[in-house]
Amino acid sequence: MLGLNLSLMLPTTLPLSAKDPTSENRGNVIGQNLPASIVRIEVTDQEADYASPWNAGHIGGGIGSGFVIIAPGGKKRILTNAHVVSNARFITLTRERVSHPYTAHVEFIAHDCDLALLSVDDPAFFEGTVPLELGGVPLIESGVSVYGYPLGGERLSVTRGVVSKIDFDLYTHSGVDSHLVIQIDAAINPGNSGGPVLQDGKVVGVAFQGYSGEVAQNVGFMIPIPVIARFLKDLSKGTYTGYTDLSIAFRPLLSAPSRRVLGLANDDLGVLVTDVQEKGSSHGFLQKGDVLHSIDNHPIASNGRVELNRESVDMTEIVEQKFEGEKVRIAVLRDGKPLVIEFPLHGTWSFRMQGNSYDEKPRYLLYGGLLFQPLDRNFLKANSMADLRIKQAFENFVEKHLYVERPEIVVLSRILADPIHKECDGLRPGIVDSINGRKIHSLADVSAAFDQPALYDVVILDGIGAPIVLSREEALKANPRIMLTYGIPSPRNL
Amino acid sequence: MKRFLPMLRLPLLVFLLIPMGCREKNTTPQKLAESVLRVTSTIQYPDNKRPWLKKQPFTRVGLGTIIEGGRLLVTADMVAHASYIALEKPEDGPKGTATVEAIDEECNLAILKPVEPELLKGTSPLPIDTMILPGSIIQILQLEPNGAPALSLANLTTVAVMPYSPDGGSYLLYRASTTIPQREGSFVIPALHEGKLAGLVMRYDPRTQSADIIPSLLIGRFMKECGKPGYSGLARAGLTDEEARGRTLREWLGAGKGLNGIIITSIDPNGPAEKAGLRKADLIVKAGGKPIDGQGNYTDPRLGKINFSNLATLESSPGDKWEIVYFRSVGEGTGTLGTATLTLEGRNPLTEISPARLQGDSVPYTFLGGLLFQELSRPYLQEWGANWRSDAPQNLVALDAFQKDLPKDQKRLVIVSLVLPSSQTIGLQELANKVVVNINGMPIHGLADVREAATHPKNGFQQIDLEGSAGPIYLDAATLPSEEARLSSEYGIPAKANP
């Protein structure tokens, strides 16, 4: 009895704050229902090992938060962060007043906006739960409450703060995507991830990232409703496709001479296109040197911002709200002539290699003790590469359009010592230029090159004078020996 | 050539310690002190990021060795970018000044000429030793504060071609194991062998107790070459190489038994090797008539195995012909032997796209409005500090590192090194450190091109096209002179351009 009373004590503390007339006057009602809506997520995950790509990876775990919503289709689901359930092998959910954990599965996961939707295997879990309603974008300085299970606690925790800033910012989960982010000054700690941020009883965001105390304090970030709503709408068709992108580089047009040369009025409008990516939506529609004047009839200011719902936002926000195949209408000034160009949008795959990837098995090919891997962020995190060429290829992959010639950059990452290399000490990792005369544009090319009949296998690396030469006969004999010695179950995962 | 201990290129710290050098009883130390002068040089490096400025001056104190012709020998580090060089006789003697007669920062040697000849009265030049073998005991000469000589013994352990600086070339080097006490004025100190100059100590690592000494052999070659007109460095072939590793590689190359050799990994554009027709991936099997082994060594009758680059730098003069026998493989075990005759050259800075060293004491630049233009160089990147390879702008680090891969006709690269904010350059700050491709439609291959192109504005505008996705910059040509005048007075820039 005593224990029960204590657990009821938690919501009874909330009406105190509800006396504050400025916010959350329904706090007591919500407070009582919250334990029925917010869940604690315990995950066992297995992070892929890009240093020994044949290994299954390190088994770890973590705790996050999530909450019950009505998913598209009317079913109850758990919304949480993608990073809470990335690489998950086993997921259990608990909530207060429920004695045992329930197993759950990832139904949809969006690494580009750090959101995931979980289904629960036993529908009994949802009995007595109250789905939370999605609200809107809160006003600056308005109060919000963050709910979740920070720092591994078993009991629901609440922190409060105000909305500090609403802006475009990086989503560190992928490390390459930027969307709308709301900064709040409520404490967000590990374990809060995926928990709801509420205002007036409605969800206004999902807590997802913060700073370590050494960098900044009282700074937490949440994923706002426009991003959540887009995620839910995208997956309502049965699969999650992801964001679309213009894939252009543009520059503000602030200086007076630039504006005069381009024949622009002194109206503070327009940005200059300085690059168009070949694989992006704008290719064939926009050109270097175009001045963008408006996007979907929103005038573009010279600093690249547009007005949307009476807020000044990055012009990318217009594209953010669109789905694969939807069209965008852009007014441009090209060679002094106004044009209106309409074209469909799609995502850009070439950025992905620069971002963190999850839920994937590392790809590799092992031949004659030589380990070949595609260059991407996961690879670089696991293998510190001193080679400047490798670093440059990674960083310039998109900016210098390297992907046009080489959709994939293959690296000879490691040489597993074996008698066939006994005189080859000092071999260094490098970018593979060609193998047996075949230019290498993907890992599949490596496989094809070694499948051709040959007396010798000749691997040429970028910028290195002497090729690596193996005798085919010896390499074929060495392959099973090397796999046995190093405990490698399979020589390749293409 | 491949491996070396990364030692600090540091002076022996300027400190006073209790003298504890091991004196050699059977030498005549007092006489040795007659062959050195204390050299104090006031050094002021140019600021490569703010090229109209010079950095804070500082002093280095070392010992200059008196050599034939009434001159002094020191390391180049001792006097490079010196604005004033003072000389002093060890024992409370007369003082004077000196000028630099010859300097080569690559091999770290310089010759000084005293302005006041009377300073050399009563001194005796040291003869240059011609040969020391590994295992010899040499003496390191320092001076006590009162001018008395202090000698430490050193055991010469290694004679090999090793890098002189992290970014520079490799030359013959002595490595000796010794304890050199910290004494004032030891930035450069001579090493002696049987009363002759064995070399100059250019760095000492107190942790491993190992001293790197510029050998007398190299000093002798430098003294022979540096007086020749147009001297720009010791002879070089203009290539880099690495070992041809592995039996199967050798089989595939097809060079056959008895031919060892080393593989060319890169060739300097317009350098001697390129002009003689050598190519990347050629296997060098003989140089100057001497067979080259798999590690790139020839066998010197006295020194033993030494990297073959020594045959150019130490045994030859710029302008000498050098025969290289090479094997050019087409793979699968076949190829042909060939002979190339190189005409060795000193360093030619004009062929370097991103020069490793500055020529002279001032950094060239040009302003156009609030934009500062400079030519890309290694010293510019080194302004980012010891970790410049990772801290400096990476696009420029890559251009510097891979300059040999750039098109053959590529000349200097001009960058916008600074954007001073003004009404015309607003919003352009992030374009700093991008390479300039064209100005007013003219391709830019050096600062001279910038100045020339700037005199041809198009429709009243200067159009500057940058590399990559930066897009063009436009400046209003008519207002540039007044803007430049305003910026130079506000930021204290004495001249719009240098030269």
Q: Residue A7's pLDDT is what?
A: 21
A349–chain B nearest CA distance, Å: 19
- Is the pLDDT at B281 greater than 50? The verdict is yes
**Residue A464 falls within a domain, yes or no?**
yes
Query: Does the beta-carbon distance from A426 to B470 stay under 8 Å?
Result: no
The residues pairing with B438 across neighbouring beta strands, listed in sequence order, are B443, B465
- Quote the pLDDT of residue A385: 80
Nearest CA in chain B to A289: B471
- Residue A467 vs residue B202, higher pLDDT: B202
- List all residues of chain A from 425 to 454 with a beta carbon under 8 Å from chain B: 425-427
Give percent above pLDDT 90 in chain A. 61
Alpha-carbon dihedral angle through residues B133, B137, B138, B144, given to the nearest 10 degrees? 170
A46 found inside a domain = no
Catalytic residue among A114, A314, A418, A445: A114
Is there a single domain that holds both residue A370 and residue A488?
A: yes
| Residue tagged 């022979």 (tokens) | B224
Q: What is the mean predicted confidence (pLDDT) over A20-43?
A: 63
Question: Residue A425 has what pLDDT?
Answer: 62
- pLDDT number for residue A47: 92
At A254, which amino acid appears? L
Is there a cis peptide before residue A224, judged by omega within 30 degrees of 0?
no
By mean pLDDT, which of A135-139, A261-265, B86-90 is the weakest?
Answer: A261-265
pLDDT tops 90 at residue A290: yes
- The yes-or-no verdict on residue A28 having pLDDT over 80 is no
| Contact of B129 with B7, CB cutoff 8 Å | no
User: How close, in Å, is residue A271 to chain B by CA atoms?
Assistant: 11
Q: Mark whether A385 and A478 lie in a shared domain.
A: yes
d(CA A412, CA A78): 42
pLDDT of residue B276: 95
Residue A58 is a catalytic residue: no
Nearest to B374 by CA among B54, B55, B81, B49: B49
* Residues A335, A409 within the same domain: no
Residue B34 has pLDDT above 50, yes or no: yes
Task: Give the Cα-Cα-Cα angle B248, B249, B252 (nearest 5 degrees).
Answer: 85
Question: What's the pLDDT at A423?
Answer: 67
Is A83 considered catalytic here?
Answer: yes
Marked catalytic residue, from A193, A247, A357, A413? A193
Is residue A104 situated within a structural domain? Answer: no
Domain limits at A288? 248-346
Mutate to test the interface with B, among A247, A248, A255, A399 (most CBs of B within 10 A): A255
CB contacts of B332 in chain A (<8 Å) are 455-456
- Reported confidence tier of residue A467, pLDDT bands at 50, 70, 90: confident
If one counts the domains in chain A, the total is 3
Residue B106 bridge partners (DSSP): none
Distance between CA atoms of residues A281 and A245, nearest Å: 7
Residue A302 clears pLDDT 80, i.e. is over it: yes
A106: CB partners within 8 A, 6+ apart: A85, A88, A91, A116, A117, A118
Co-location of A387 and A485 in the same domain: yes
Average pLDDT in the A368-389 region? 91
Name which of B474, B475, B480 to mutate to probe chain A: the one with the most chain A Cβ atoms within 10 A of its Cβ. Answer: B474
Share of chain B above pLDDT 70, in %: 94
pLDDT given for residue A32 in this prediction: 61
CB contact burial A282-298 (16+ within 10 A = b; e otherwise): beebbeebbbbbbbbee
Specify the range with the lowest mean pLDDT, choosing from A12-16, A145-149, B129-133: A12-16
Locate A436 and state its tokens: 């047996």
Residue range(s) occupied by CATH 2.40.10.120 in chain B: 29-225
- Give the end of a domain, one of A317, A346, A375: A346
Q: What is the mean pLDDT of residues B292-302?
A: 90
Q: Does pLDDT of A366 surpass 60?
A: yes
Residue B330: count other Cβ atoms within 10 Å of its Cβ: 10
> What is the model's pLDDT at position A20?
35
Average pLDDT of the residues in A97-111: 91
Average pLDDT, chain A: 87
Which residues are CB-neighbours of A123 under 8 A, at least 6 positions away?
Answer: none
Same domain, yes or no, for A369 and A323?
Answer: no
Residue B7 has pLDDT above 50, yes or no: no
Task: Give dist(CA A430, CA B265) in Å, integer.
Answer: 14
In CATH terms, the superfamily for domain B239-343 is PDZ domain (2.30.42.10)
Instruction: Tell me whether residue A426 is in a domain.
Output: yes
Nearest residue on chain A to B462, judged by CA atoms?
Answer: A257
Interface test with A, best of B240, B249, B462 (most A CBs within 10 A): B249
Nearest CA distance, A246 vs chain B (angstrom): 15
Query: What is the model's pLDDT at position A190?
Result: 84
Q: Tell the residue number behind the tokens 């090319």, with chain if given.
A: A445
CA dist A399 → A277, B414, B467 (Å): 8, 20, 11
Least confident residue range of A115-124, A158-167, B162-171? B162-171
Residue B360's pLDDT band (boundaries 50, 70, 90)?
confident
Q: Is B385 left (phi over 0), alpha (psi -120 to 50) or beta?
A: left
**Looking at residue B177, what is its pLDDT?**
94
Q: Which residues contact B20 (CB under 8 A, 6 or more apart)?
A: B181
- If we measure between CA atoms, which residue out of B72, B122, B126, B76 comes closest to residue B98? B72
Closest C-alpha to B463, from B430, B437, B495: B437
Q: Does domain B29-225 have CATH number 2.40.10.120?
A: yes
Say what the pTM is: 0.85
Contact state of A424 with B331 under an 8 Å Cβ cutoff:
no
- Which part of chain B is CATH 3.20.190.20? 352-498
Q: What is the mean pLDDT of residues B325-348?
A: 90
Residue A30 lies in a domain: no
Strands A438-439, A430-435: pairing kind = antiparallel
pLDDT (0 to 100) of residue A450: 96
Question: Rounded to whole angstroms, how far apart are CA atoms A465 and B9?
Answer: 30
Mean pLDDT value of segment A385-411: 89
Q: How large is the average pLDDT for residues A109-125?
A: 93
Q: Look at residues A311, A302, A249 and name the one whose alpha carbon lies nearest to residue A276.
A: A249
Which residue has 């690059």 as its token pair?
A275
Do both A212 and A294 map to the same domain? no
In chain B, how long is the greatest CA-to-CA distance? Answer: 83
Q: Does A19 score more than 50 pLDDT? A: no
Give the pLDDT band of residue A433 (cuts 50, 70, 90). very high
Q: Are residues A148 and A188 in the same domain?
A: yes
A292 shares its domain with A387: no
User: Does pLDDT of B168 surpass 90?
Assistant: no
- Asked if A455 and B242 come within 8 Å (Cβ–Cβ), the reply is no
Please give the Cα distance from B13 to A491 (Å, whole number).
56
A87-91, A264-268, B379-383: which range is least confident on average?
A: A264-268
Q: Residues 186..245 of A with a Cβ closer than 8 Å to B: which?
A: none
Distant-in-sequence, close-in-space partners of A269: CB < 8 Å, separation ≥ 6: A293, A299, A300, A301, A302
Q: Are residues A217 and A270 in the same domain?
A: no
Q: Does domain B352-498 have CATH number 3.30.300.30?
A: no
Q: Which of A232, A158, A399, A62 is nearest to B466 (CA)?
A: A399
Instruction: Say if CB B262 and CB B292 are below 8 A apart.
Output: yes
CA A343 to chain centre: 26
SS3 readout for chain A: CHHHHHHHHHHHCHHHHHCCCCCCCCHHHHHHHHHHCEEEEEEEEEECCCCCCCCCCEEEEEEEEEEEEECCCCCEEEEECHHHHCCEEEEEEECCCCCCCEEEEEEEEECCCCEEEEEECCHHHHCCCCCCCECCCCCCCCEEEEEECHHHCCCCEEEEEEEEEEEEEEECCCCCEEEEEEEECCCCCCCCCCCEEEECCEEEEEEEEECCCCCCCCCEEEEEHHHHHHHHHHHCCCCCCCCCECCEEEEECCCHHHHHHCCCCCCCECEEEEEECCCCCCECCECCCCEEEEECCEECECCCEEEECCEEEECHHHHHCCCCCCEEEEEEEECCEEEEEEEECECCHHHHHHCCCCCCCCCEEEECCEEEEECCHHHHHHCCCCCHHHHHHHHCCCCCCHHHHCCCCEEEEEECCCHHHCCCCCCCCEEEEEECCEECCCHHHHHHHHHCCCCEEEEEECCCCCCEEEEHHHHHHHHHHHHHHHCCCCCEEC
| Structure confidence at residue B430 (pLDDT) | 83
My answer on whether A401 and A489 are in the same domain is yes
Mean pLDDT of chain B: 87
The enclosing domain of A304 has a CATH number of 2.30.42.10
Q: Residue A213's pLDDT is what?
A: 67
Residues of chain B with CATH 2.30.42.10: 239-343
Q: Which of A23, A37, A45, A83 is catalytic?
A: A83
Least confident of A323-332, A371-380, A412-421, B7-16: B7-16
Cβ pair A399:B469 closer than 8 A: yes
Last residue of a domain, one of A316, A346, A376: A346
CATH number for the domain that contains residue A176: 2.40.10.10
B220-246 tens-digit pLDDT: 999 999 999 989 899 999 998 888 877
The closest alpha carbon to B263, from B276, B251, B250, B274, belongs to: B250
Instruction: Specify the pLDDT at position B183.
Output: 87
Strand A468-471 to B36-43 pairing: unpaired
A466 and B251 within 8 Å at the Cβ level: the answer is no
Examine the domain organization and report whether A370 and A469 are in the same domain. Answer: yes
Q: Is residue A123 part of a domain?
A: no
For A468, nearest residue in chain B (alpha carbons): B249
**pLDDT (0 to 100) of residue A104:** 95
Of A209, A235, A261, the residue that ends a domain is A235
Rounded Cα distance between B372 and B109, Å, is 34
Structure tokens at B62: 């070392």
The pLDDT tens digits of the residues spanning B186-216 come to 899 999 998 899 999 999 999 999 999 999 9
Q: How far apart are CA A234 and CA A420, in angstroms?
A: 53
Contact B311, B301 (CB under 8 A): no
Q: Give the lowest-confidence range in A138-147, B397-406, B419-428, B487-496.
A: B419-428
Residues A222, A303: one domain?
Answer: no
Rounded distance between C-alpha atoms, residue A332 and residue A317, angstroms? 18
Q: Residue B121: which residues within 8 A CB-CB, separation 6 or more?
A: none
